[in-house]
Structure 1
Amino acid sequence: MKNLENNLAKRNDPQCPDEPVGIICASFREGAPALVIITLEGKRWVMPWVHFLYAWHETRQELEQISLQYNSHKVLIEGVRLESSIQQFSKFGVEWIRSYDKRYLPLCPKDSPFIEKILIEEKSE
């Protein structure tokens, strides 16, 4: 928590305008062969785009959700500013996503998606 407070203080300090501060929850690159998913617990999943079926986006009160459907798994993403990401998912243009605790939202650039939760479930046959 102290680190978060220090980063926020640096961001507001005019003496440090070039200090790189912030977190990124997604990397966009068209033609990525797979989506790497990093959960809040640190578990890493590699989901090849070749197994991707479809996605949907929904806004629920203050949070947005994106659901990614694969042949064998479904991925539920919750956060804010996710709507623009759905276009990237449709072009297989998301290289990786990562979730952070919501207390880190102030460190995420205002024009970037912030992912608070990622749930991955295996589909039953």
Structure 2
Amino acid sequence: LRRAAPGLVVRTGTDAAALAPGAQGLINCTPVGMVGYGGTPLPADLMMGAEWVFDAVYTPVDTPFLRDAGAAGLDVISGYELFVGQGVDAWAIFTGLPLAEGRLRDDLAAGRDAP
């Protein structure tokens, strides 16, 4: 983030409750919320004042963290986008072949194996 936006203030740490106040965006990069690791890394009341959240958790797509953020009116970005983006980039790096990302998304949404 710092490299992409040098003027951006980025705070990291293990105490989400202490770091959240005043944050414009909140990012969960822990396993909390994924299948087998229930819960949320930040209570809903501590999200107030933020504009957006991103959860790096792939599954489930709709984590308690994202549900709480959505209910509070924040813009949410699911870990599903990370999952798809990494797959698309890996395909290009390893094969050098084109990929119809729209078709991939449609196939994933429908639960089909892409040809």
User: What is the TM-score normalised by the length of structure 1?
Assistant: 0.22
Looking at secondary structure, tell me which structure has more strand per residue: 1
TM-score, with structure 2 as normaliser: 0.23
Higher helix share: 2
